Structure 1
């Protein structure tokens, strides 16, 4: 049996196991990012230097505007995104990321404002997701990957832009493992983002 045929058979078996393994009528399991991780007291003073910041809603591909959970079989066809049949997010990934990053920035000591508070701050953070996926390297091993491009504007002018990418291993080869891995990757990106914001020169 050639490697190509073997991978195709494995991919088919994996898709059946992940996407439609539940019995008919099984209720849908819903996932979010879980509770906020504990704060790092040592980073609080530096993070507080962010001050007041307007955090716009996260944007990204159309797949982030649905509650469906997706995975990719990198060993078979990395270009194909497959949905889980009986698992979904409690809200869209874009909404989950917006809520999580706002909460983490606020947790770090900054004042988080919405776009409706435009008069309260000249600093705006905009974020666009480049990649948000559970990627299977093998039938039993996967990682949650988040890649996010952040842009900081002051007085409607771009100040800085940077792309943050983090990957976290899934503890199980299923939707539950993927949800936890993507939450971990999101928290890691949030920490990197906060450190970056704190290091930016203050507004004049």
Structure 2
């Protein structure tokens, strides 16, 4: 009877040297396969989302004197990068003119919307706050004195790094107070507010925290200014 011819694997396994070489080849192939698998891209990381926190968690007691009502126009911006949800920063020590977005961190809404929401919440604690058109229509129907209109423009809202180890949250707001007259809008007062607060950490979380603190401080200054402006002749 004719004996079957040995296959290639049988020949390799006939001597210890060949068996060792064969096993080495298998191990090498396994390493190459695993390396190729590890080179496959990971699932994209989900961006961290930041807002201004929960806001008021209880309604404060109405112990302070109520202030005159005010009408708010929708907060405007200077356009560009600040109009989207990016959490922006600047490197003042290399190129302060370049706005850079964090790749894995975003606001839940555009900054202008977050600032307006915080402003309305704060001012509403001591006065009635209307939307600009709503306040005019309501007071005209009641033959009451029209509220002054507050216009705001958000010009800067970013984390500014003076060095790699130090940064602040910087907000710049242009505030304009106008009165409605039969002839149209009458400019009463205008003020530029520039406020910064140090970031507790030099990353997106620290920048978001600093910007919230800077915004709250700017709104407090704006509230004081409104009270002073109303009392001026």
Q: Is the pair's TM-score, using the shorter chain for normalization, greater than 0.5? A: yes
The residue number in structure 1 matching 2:86 is: 68
In structure 2, the CA distance between the partners of 1:44 and 1:161, relative to structure 1 (3 Å rule), is: farther
- Give secondary structure in 2 for the equivalent of 1:137: strand
1:32 to 40, 44, 51: 51
Deviations along 1:73-105, whole A, 9 cap, x unmatched? Answer: 000110111111011000000111111111111
Q: Distance in 1 between matches of 2:73 and 2:93?
A: 36
RMSD across aligned C-alpha pairs, in angstroms?
Answer: 2.4
The residue number in structure 1 matching 2:111 is: 93
Task: Say which is worse superposed, 121-130 or 150-159, in terms of deviation.
Answer: 121-130
Q: Distance in 2 between matches of 1:65 and 1:179?
A: 16
What runs of 5+ residues in structure 1 fail to find an aligned partner? Answer: 1-22
TM-score (norm 2): 0.70
1:113 to 100, 125, 130: 130
- Give secondary structure in 1 for the equivalent of 2:213: helix
The residue number in structure 1 matching 2:70 is: 53
Deviations along 1:51-72, whole A, 9 cap, x unmatched? Answer: 1111111111222220111100
**Which has the higher relative contact order, 1 or 2, with Cα contacts under 8 A spaced 6 or more apart?**
1
Map 1:1-204 onto structure 2 (within 5 A): 25-36=44-55, 44-45=64-65, 48-49=66-67, 51-62=68-79, 63-107=81-125, 109-117=126-134, 118-119=136-137, 120=139, 121-155=146-180, 156-201=185-230
How many residues are treated as equivalent by the alignment?
178
8 Å Cα contact 1:72-1:134 kept in structure 2? yes
- Give secondary structure in 2 for the equivalent of 1:188: helix
TM-score (norm 1): 0.80
After TM superposition, the runs of 4+ consecutive aligned structure 1 residues lying more than 6 A away are 37-41
- Structure with higher Rg: it is 2
Q: State the 1:116 CA deviation.
A: 3.0
Q: Distance in 1 between matches of 2:90 and 2:200?
A: 16
